[in-house]
A = this chain, B = another copy of it.
Amino acid sequence: MIKAAVLGATGYTGIELIRLINAHPDVSLVLATSESHDGKKISDVHPQFYDQTVLILEKMEPGQVPSTIDVVFCALPHGSSAEAGAVLHKKGFRVIDLSADFRLKNPAVYSQWYNLDHPHPELLECSVYGLPELYKEQVKNAGLIANPGCYPTGIILALAPLLKNNMIDLKSIIIDAKSGVSGAGRAPKQPFHFPECTENFKAYRVASHQHTPEIEQELSRLAENQLKVTFTPHLVPMIRGILSTIYLKLNKEQSESELNNLYLDFYGGSPFVRILKPPALPETRFVRGSNYCDLALKLDSRTGQLIIFSAIDNLVKGAAGQAVQNMNLMFGFSETAGLGQTAH
């Protein structure tokens, strides 16, 4: 039984970490920090935990985290997460950071998209991009994990097999993504006020979403070639889930069944990626609350476009679940430990 801490325990990612760690057979949550709810029980803030945990939220500086802790999950806002991560990493903690702070390798790109000078650019090289399906070995040995963003997770998994095999016209990638509202965080704001959010559908941050450089960095790395994508996020009136619809042109002709076999093969050892049997298509409800990424491919024979569909739960595979999966690998647990939830 290892000991875990969650820094920033009351946002949606923090809550989801607590839910998953509580259900984990090999981990015990011993510390949960909160800036604004110091001294309250977790269940005072989130009554679903009533009777499930007696942990008291504490306001605590990263430097004060007790050395008996085995793994620290950082679910702090961008910027402060980098500060905390640096302190903890220096002290030798194994850190899984759920912010964007350690994902981008180029600090200039970080500054440009996050409007912030990176406080610890020296750590960008040593952090591991925690997408276990692609970087399992690096994850196992990592001291500092940059847990991937929600949109990037579903998109990179959808494209990796083709990029690795150099099968895509790299100028052709268009990503039309749709996310549930929990992706916007827990702070109440006008666009997420129920009467203005339900019964509505819209795009937002068109051609300017901060996940774009993360997507491009990782797809370029897979392609071994610099590429750019058109990425358009939309807001769906539902709590959880991302469906990404990805359009691209292949380099050479492939049948749908060849493509399916390629994907089945590529993800043969990945317990959380499911390649749906045609003509099934992903629906976000089939992954809701679970750590799966569901994928399907469809060739539009009339136009030659390949269309890939990818569905995840943004709070699980897109955040807390993936963080637990990374922890499992780092500590030698079964990759699926504590992550067996069925969508419901």
Interface residues of A (CB under 8 A from B): 12, 16, 19, 22-23, 47-52, 174, 176, 178, 180-182, 186-190, 192-204, 206-207, 228-230, 232, 234, 236-241, 243, 245, 247, 271, 274, 276, 280-290, 292, 294, 298-303, 305, 307, 309, 311, 340-344
Q: Nearest Cβ distance between residue A192 and chain B, in whole angstroms?
A: 5
- On chain B, the residues within 8 Å of A49 by CB distance are 342
Known A49-B342, A344-B16, A344-B48: A303·B201 in contact at CB below 8 Å: no
Which 4 A-B pairs give the minimum distances between C-beta atoms? A48-B343, A202-B283, A207-B300, A188-B188
Q: Which of A200, A207, A294, A300 has the most CB of B within 10 A?
A: A200
Contact B186 A188 (CB under 8 A): no
- On chain B, the residues within 8 Å of A287 by CB distance are 48
Contact B290 A48 (CB under 8 A): yes
Contact B203 A305 (CB under 8 A): no
Contact A230 B300 (CB under 8 A): yes
Q: Nearest Cβ distance between residue A268 and chain B, in whole angstroms?
A: 12
Known A19-B344, A200-B283: A195·B300 in contact at CB below 8 Å: no
Q: Nearest Cβ distance between residue A159 and chain B, in whole angstroms?
A: 16
Q: Nearest Cβ distance between residue A213 and chain B, in whole angstroms?
A: 10
- Complex CA gap A180/B195 in Å reads 9
Q: Nearest Cβ distance between residue A301 and chain B, in whole angstroms?
A: 7
- Complex CA gap A9/B277 in Å reads 22
Contact A48 B285 (CB under 8 A): yes
Contact A280 B47 (CB under 8 A): yes
Contact A193 B192 (CB under 8 A): yes
> Which listed residue, B186, B193, B230, touches A186 by the CB 8 Å rule?
B193
Q: Nearest Cβ distance between residue A281 and chain B, in whole angstroms?
A: 6
Contact B230 A194 (CB under 8 A): no
Contact B236 A303 (CB under 8 A): no
> Which listed residue, B22, B52, B203, B238, touches A199 by the CB 8 Å rule?
B238
> Which listed residue, B274, B280, B301, B341, touches A207 by the CB 8 Å rule?
B301
Contact A201 B236 (CB under 8 A): yes
- Complex CA gap A69/B32 in Å reads 44
- On chain B, the residues within 8 Å of A292 by CB distance are 50-51
Contact B51 A203 (CB under 8 A): no
Contact B47 A230 (CB under 8 A): no
- Complex CA gap A196/B186 in Å reads 9
